[in-house]
Structure 1
Amino acid sequence: MKLSFTKMQGAGNDFVVLDETQGLLGLSAAQYRWLADRRFGVGADQILTVRAAPPAQAGQVDFEYIIHNADGGEVEQCGNGARCFARYVFDKGLTHKKQIRVLTRAGIIAPQLQDDGRVTVRMGCPRWQPGQIPFDAQGLRSQAQHQDTLWWLPLEPSELLEPPAAGAQREQGAGVWLSVVSMGNPHAVQRVASVQDAPVAVQGAWIERHPRFAQRVNAGFMQVRSRSEIALRVYERGVGETLACGTGACAAVVSGIRQGLLDTCVDVHMPGGMLTIEWQGGPADEVLMTGPAQTVFEGTIEIADSL
């Protein structure tokens, strides 16, 4: 099967974008994995699929947004991808509106193209109750931090379903204090003194697949530089460390605000670039994310039906 695609990136988080507005392609998990493979396919952190609004939501949303991670699994949300999605449908003439409503597995988001080329996305309201992540907090130590709750997550081998692929080893009794946030997908955020020195590859792999997180989790490592600026690295669920994570930036800022560390508008510096995150702090307040979205190249690729 010959497949047309667009390669895009937002703050270094890169995507293959597919158009299914005229009909479903019917790709398998193995085919998504192959497309994302940087040696045999196109290469991407996620595969983004554009679909027409479902008939049941006609008039309520403009499009449907489907996301597959590099491991082939479908996920609920991707913030950097949402900005690229909005840029794609506008540039391709699928809509002439600069603000659209998009249905995701996590709910409805509202991206808006800005005059400076950036895209702002209303990412919905954060949630932090353990059951909403989902996160099994039963029996864990906890401590209050301003309006937030930090949880002590053991990182002992006996606590894990399987060892990380990287073969990481940790001492018995090791653990970390985490803040848990859902931005439509699960996040665990910890404060570190320096993101440069943070053990993202090793510790992120252990946290991502910890059995306390029923759907696995995105592990964030946050360094607070000031009340309006943080540095962040994220080990993404089903992907590994990426150059940027939009929902991870949102989750980190929400966590920092709830802990009394940050103001309501924060610049988030990640290896791939900067995002600006705004949140007024209330449970009914939506998180706003603003950042770049760029087309890298377009092409066609032959993909085997037998994958």
Structure 2
Amino acid sequence: MTTFVKGHGTENDFVLLDDPEGTLDLTPELIRHLADRRAGLGADGVIRVVRSAAAGQDAAGEWFMDYWNSDGSAAEMCGNGSRVFVAHLLRRGWITLGDGDEVAITTRGGVLPVSRRGDLFSIDLGAWQVAGGPAAVTAGGDVTVTFPGMPPLPGLSVALSNPHVVVVLPDVATLEALDLTVPPVVEPAPPHGTNVEIVVPMHDQSIQNELGHLRMRVHERGSGETRSCGTGTVAAAIAARAWGGDLAPDHWRVDVPGGTLYVDAEGTSSEGDSAKLTGPAVIVAEGELVDVVVS
């Protein structure tokens, strides 16, 4: 018997499969079936909840977040998914986590600390960098991104657990009208694909702000447009911070279609050692899978 839960972080939704001892035969075909919104349970991604040792992960975190995109491809990690992952571990009684306490989780992107902040969870995604360095920041980007019916726009590549490219638009109306039913074309094409975040600054850019504010939509590699992307909101704040120069804040509010997330980034305009993502995690249902073969 394989138990599962369905959860979301700002409506970026996941199926989490309980497999603490690592006995589940997880395949891309199974991932696609579970993520299918008609034939399966429906999700942007699937997370296997397994102990690091059972998954062959020699890491400090006891639990491994085995994350898969809805198309059956494996990904380094997921910012929203990591919060739902920890909320699930807490609900199952597999960890204890008081307000302000921290737990380390293992991902393909490394061992990352997640802390509890009242009803919210915060994950430190660690080191980040603007892929093209200061030259890309000065130029406004290092790639071009083309959306249907629009000319190519500059995009800034951000390396942060997952690969990201951030594009800025002039107003909310243009953002809302953007066609994300097909993948944006990024040139040069990243070798392993990329998430594309599209943002509109909402704060007053003429003065020093304690809190930056962005509106964002996202097209995720392997999943298409989603209601939210955790690492993407962090990449968006990093890019906006880089474009803003010395006046740009370190703290950001990012509004996505599924809700609001908060980002704290430290470092220069092109690199840093810490980037924290804070937001909610909601468990909405649980049950048992009846057609999964367990070895």
- Render the CA deviation track for 1:68-111: whole Å, top value 9, x for unaligned: 01101000021000111111111111111342111111111111
- The answer for the alignment partner of 1:205 in structure 2 is 183
In 1, Cα distance between equivalents of 2:232 and 2:145: 22
- The answer for the alignment partner of 1:158 in structure 2 is none
Contact 2:145 2:154 survives alignment (8 Å): no
Q: What is the RMSD computed on CA atoms of the aligned residues?
A: 2.4
- Residue 300 (1) aligns with residue 288 (2): yes
- Render the CA deviation track for 1:173-204: whole Å, top value 9, x for unaligned: x4110010011111110001234433543486
Aligned pairs for 1:93-242 (under 5 A) are 93-97=93-97, 98-115=101-118, 117-130=119-132, 145-146=137-138, 149-153=140-144, 155=146, 174-198=151-175, 200-202=178-180, 205-207=183-185, 212-226=189-203, 227=209, 228-242=212-226
Instruction: Work out the percentage of aligned pairs sharing the same amino acid.
Output: 28
Paired residues in the alignment total: 276
In 2, Cα distance between equivalents of 1:299 and 1:203: 31
**Regions of 4+ moved over 3 Å:** 55-58, 142-146, 168-171, 199-204
Offset at 1:126? 1.0
Helix, strand or coil at the partner of 2:128: coil
- The answer for the alignment partner of 2:264 in structure 1 is 278
Gaps of 5+ in 1: 133-141, 156-167
- How high is the TM-score relative to the length of structure 2? 0.85
In 2, Cα distance between equivalents of 1:207 and 1:127: 22
Contact 1:176 1:190 survives alignment (8 Å): yes
Contact 2:153 2:167 survives alignment (8 Å): yes
In 2, Cα distance between equivalents of 1:284 and 1:218: 20
Contact 1:34 1:40 survives alignment (8 Å): yes
- Render the CA deviation track for 1:42-87: whole Å, top value 9, x for unaligned: 00000011111237636x2221111101101000021000111111
In 1, Cα distance between equivalents of 2:173 and 2:264: 25
Residues 154/270 of structure 1: CA separation in 2 closer, same or farther (3 Å cut): closer
Contact 1:234 1:242 survives alignment (8 Å): yes
In 2, Cα distance between equivalents of 1:277 and 1:230: 11
- Letter in structure 2 aligned against 1:206: P
- How high is the TM-score relative to the length of structure 1? 0.82
- Letter in structure 1 aligned against 2:11: G
- The answer for the alignment partner of 1:57 in structure 2 is 58
In 2, Cα distance between equivalents of 1:271 and 1:16: 20
Residues 65/304 of structure 1: CA separation in 2 closer, same or farther (3 Å cut): closer
- Letter in structure 2 aligned against 1:99: E
In 1, Cα distance between equivalents of 2:219 and 2:171: 16
- Render the CA deviation track for 1:239-285: whole Å, top value 9, x for unaligned: 11111100000000011111126311111000000001001234343
Residues 278/41 of structure 1: CA separation in 2 closer, same or farther (3 Å cut): same
Offset at 1:154? 6.3
Gaps of 5+ in 2: 204-208
Residues 83/193 of structure 1: CA separation in 2 closer, same or farther (3 Å cut): same
